Amino acid sequence: MTITTIEIEKIDASGRLRPIRPDWVEAFAEQIAAGEELPPVEVVATGDGTYRLITGGHRFAAHKAAGRETIEAEVKDPERYADEAACRLREIK
């Protein structure tokens, strides 16, 4: 497991299964603005210098809403998340 700081613009958060709730995003953004740390999101490298968001859609959206340019992320092993099914299963869990 590797936790690193990643530029938000390098993370693809499209195609999420779970809809983003604006009230959750607002609550998390307030926590971020108050200096609280949220758990890292989970991403997998796509091989072209970008990442795909696996878990943490609300936290990701909250960082964007709070005006952050970076986010702490746990970078998952690309071999474990090499296909769409593996990414979806982790998102569901």
What's the pLDDT tens digit per position in 54-90?
Answer: 989 999 999 999 999 999 999 987 666 666 655 555 6
In this structure, the strands spanning 70-76 and 51-55 are: unpaired
Residue 61 to residues 11, 35, 55, Cα–Cα distance (Å):
11, 16, 12
Q: What is the pLDDT of residue 17?
A: 78
Angle of helix 57-65 versus helix 22-33 axis, rounded to 10: 60
Which residue has tokens 């998390």?
A: 28
Convert the pLDDT of each residue in 4-43 to its tens digit: 999 999 999 988 878 899 999 999 999 999 999 999 999 9
Which pTM does this prediction carry?
0.83
CATH of domain 2-92: 3.90.1530.10
